[in-house]
Amino acid sequence: MDFTITLAATVAGILVFVSLAVYLAKRYKRCPSDKILVIFGKVGRGQSARCIHGGGALIVPLIQDYQYLSLTPMTIMIDLQNALSLQNIRINVPSTFTVGISTEPAIMTNAAERLLGLPPQDIEAMAREIIFGQLRLTVASLTIEQINQDRESFLTAIRANVEPELNKIGLYLINVNITDITDESNYIYSIGKKAAAEAINKAKVDVAEQEKSGAIGESDANREKEIQVARNVAESVKGQKQAEADQRIYVQQQETQAAVGEAEALRNKEIGIAQNVAEAEKGKKKAEADRRVFVQHQESEAVQGENIASANIADYNATLAVKQAEAWQQGEVARRRAEVEIQKAQYLAEQERLNAEEVVKQEIDKRKVEIAAEATAQQTRLTAKGEADAILMKYEAEAEGIRQVLSSKAAGYQALVHSCAGDPKAAATLLMVEKIQEVVSMQVEAIRNLRIDKITVWDSGAGDGKSSTANFASNLIKTLPPLHEIAKMAGVELPEYLGQMTGESIIADTPLDDPLTPPSPPSPPQPPLATPKIP
């Protein structure tokens, strides 16, 4: 009997233990990796809940209970429209925010206190409202340029404003994606268009620079080719016609300089045109951008007035019509002023363009005149140098010829003296004998053209048996110096076979034919001295 009672007690104890173990096993809750286990009830002094991520915990019956919070991220579409920027320009910022419950202990506690038991759509709606407000605040603190151009800074500012507010309800910001930013006044479009225009203008300037470099290289190559051709042509005829070669080189150099000057003028013209077009386009774009900024600024002021009037509509219903009229009046005045400023800007841009074209035209004309003057001066200098070189070569050639003649004469004189046994006096006599015939010819030439038959002589008789006419002719011949006297003047003594000087000159005693008297027999003439025959 006792054994039976003991066995029954043992079995009952085992059953109780097994049941307790099963019960406790059921009360031990494990936390999945994508969830947070929230234990609430009596969890500790000063604590509203105990959050566990990973692991597990035993849920004490009656005094504790549990629920799970999902860590699955939520994607929230935020279509922010007509948000005011720092410049009072309304923009549209469609974006996508990804949020989720944080695993940080403090933030998990906030999530357990504020989100436990809420369906996902309610949590998403709460997060959307927070993001809307903070996104508007962020946009209002930045300019259009900061929002559009520096997206990294914009996203940082969004995180700084949105994430602390989400942490208060147990959420944290995982990712922000700004799909596109637009504005009703097309201000962002204008900024992009301005940047594109600047890039295009810079590309045009780069293309013009490259074309300029290509034109310069081509002109340099042509110039080198023409110079080399001119040098080769000059070298081929340099030995025979140096002066002609110099002239051809000069002509080729002038043509090269003319080609270089023309190329430089064309290059300067193209550069000037490109610069003027770029400056005009830049001024036009700047004026258009300034106009749009001014118009948008005025419109923003008008919108701001309308917003102020709308915000105070509850307190100022009686004055609403008056304020709307004033706002319309301000907008109209601003628009008219903007139109006036636009016309002024267009007038100034057109005036600057015309002034630039006139200045470029005058500069090109000035450059052409300078190049033409320089080419003329260079041509004059080269012409003078060529003429001077030609004259110098002519005189050098003549001097060389005279030098050769004198060298030949010196060699001949040296050979003549050598043939006379070193007697220079005999050599001089031989040279004088060679010149006797030339001297006699010159004497005869002196009186050859005298027409004696045309001379009228009144002869009254001289009383010495000779007529005056005969004396006239005889005295005329006596005026010619005898050969022996000429030789003595030169320090040369003629040989005896040429005659001797005895008393008066032989030529003086030689009778001449008198046309008024009968002819007398002529005396035998000396061999080298023929009596000149008077025609």
Torsion of CA 19, 23, 25, 29, to 10 degrees: 180
Cα 83 from chain centroid (whole Å): 47
CA distance 251 to 257: 10
DSSP 382-428: HHHHHHHHHHHHHHHHHHHHHHHHHHHHHHHHHHHHHHTTT-HHHHH
- R_g over Cα of the chain: 65
Name, in order, each residue with C-beta under 8 angstroms of 65's C-beta and a sequence gap of 6 or more: 39, 40, 41, 59
In contact, 178 and 134? CB cutoff 8 Å? no
pLDDT computed for residue 166 by the predictor: 92
Cα 31 from chain centroid (whole Å): 73
DSSP 12-64: HHHHHHHHHHHHHHHHEEEPPTTEEEEEEES-STT-SEEEESSSEEEPPTTTE
* Helices 320-419/242-311 angle, 10° precision: 170
* Helices 187-236/242-311 angle, 10° precision: 180
CATH architecture of structural domain 72-184: 2-Layer Sandwich (3.30)
Helix (H/G/I), strand (E/B), else coil: 243: helix
Closest CA to 73 of 136, 166, 161: 166
pLDDT computed for residue 171 by the predictor: 92
In 168-241, alpha helices (H):
187-236
Quick count: other Cβ atoms within 10 Å of Cβ 1?
5
Q: What six digits make up the tokens of 205? A: 């300037």
pLDDT computed for residue 487 by the predictor: 64
Closest CA to 472 of 521, 442, 427, 516: 516
Q: What six digits make up the tokens of 329? A: 């009046």
Q: Where are the domains of the chain?
A: 2-68, 72-184, 195-382, 426-509
Phi, psi of 239 (to 5 degrees): -65, -35
Q: In tens digits, what is the pLDDT along the chain, a chain of 535 residues?
A: 667 778 777 877 888 877 777 776 777 888 888 888 888 888 778 788 888 887 888 888 788 888 888 888 999 998 888 888 887 788 888 889 999 998 888 888 888 888 888 898 999 999 999 998 898 888 888 888 778 777 788 888 888 889 999 999 899 899 988 877 887 766 666 666 666 777 777 777 778 777 777 778 777 888 788 888 877 776 766 767 776 666 777 788 888 888 888 888 888 888 878 888 888 788 788 878 887 888 887 777 777 777 776 677 667 676 777 777 788 888 888 888 888 888 888 888 888 888 888 888 888 888 888 888 888 888 888 888 888 888 988 888 888 888 888 888 888 878 878 888 777 777 777 777 777 777 777 766 766 666 655 555 555 555 555 555 556 555 655 555 566 666 666 556 666 655 555 544 444 344 444 444 444 444 444 444 343 333 3
Side-chain-side CA neighbours of residue 414 (13 Å): 6
CA distance 13 to 20: 10
Name, in order, each residue with C-beta under 8 angstroms of 246's C-beta and a sequence gap of 6 or more: 234, 386, 389, 390
CA distance 275 to 535: 95
CA distance 4 to 9: 9
* Helices 424-448/320-419 angle, 10° precision: 110
pLDDT computed for residue 99 by the predictor: 93
* Helices 120-140/151-167 angle, 10° precision: 130
Burial 168-190 (b: 16+ CB within 10 A, else e): ebbbbbeebebeebebebebbeb
Quick count: other Cβ atoms within 10 Å of Cβ 452?
17
In contact, 483 and 507? CB cutoff 8 Å? no
CA distance 281 to 271: 15
Distance linking the first and last C-alpha atoms of the chain: 211
**Reduced 3-state DSSP string for 297-320:** HHHHHHHHHHHHHHHCCCCCCCCH
CA distance 291 to 332: 16
Helix (H/G/I), strand (E/B), else coil: 460: coil
Per the listing, tokens 């692991």 go with 55
pLDDT computed for residue 478 by the predictor: 56
pLDDT computed for residue 532 by the predictor: 38
CA distance 454 to 150: 127
DSSP 510: S
DSSP 527: S
The whole-model pTM stands at: 0.35
Paired residues of 101 in beta bridges? 171
